[in-house]
Structure 1
């Protein structure tokens, strides 16, 4: 065992504290150093996909949102399309040109229905949705 004590001084060189370091010489140096290094954590692959075009971005976001809503058991089958449109609206996907047509085609509804859902969300008339 080896100990070192260091005096901590202020600007006036007056001792205001002591720092004591104790070291066990029986422990290998590599083990001592490993206590200062954080443990390795496996890298998590993030599911970030970069779209090659705006249409791909809309399609990826739409597919992800459909999977998300279909996995949510609290959304009834009758309200799934409405919830998908709400989620896409909250993500700002309808700020992209022609996104409404893509969403309508994928959900097999008219673009007028998508506009209706958006108007209802803006007015606060969700009809049976929790959000």
Structure 2
């Protein structure tokens, strides 16, 4: 894929069949990750093992609705670090305000702890 890009400038993701070391068939997809300067900085590759029954493969792509549990995992698809910080702050405020054990005097400290525990201060823009 990288060689094709170098020869033609083509960056359209490609899907193809391949085999793993054990000879099992894979459905593979690859795309080039472009940097801010327009040059490739990496490649994203996904390989799906087709030796398993197809219904089993599909099950891995869907949530198990028979369990009737809510999904606690959330992801942030923000386009900037500032958005990530703002969303994390809003979430922390809601979480702390819902906790009756936190008094008004300890509110800001509790919010800061939630943000710290979630790793938000690892972002450069977070401390501002």
TM-score relative to the length of structure 1 = 0.41
The structure richer in helix per residue is: 1
TM-score relative to the length of structure 2 = 0.42
The structure richer in strand per residue is: 2
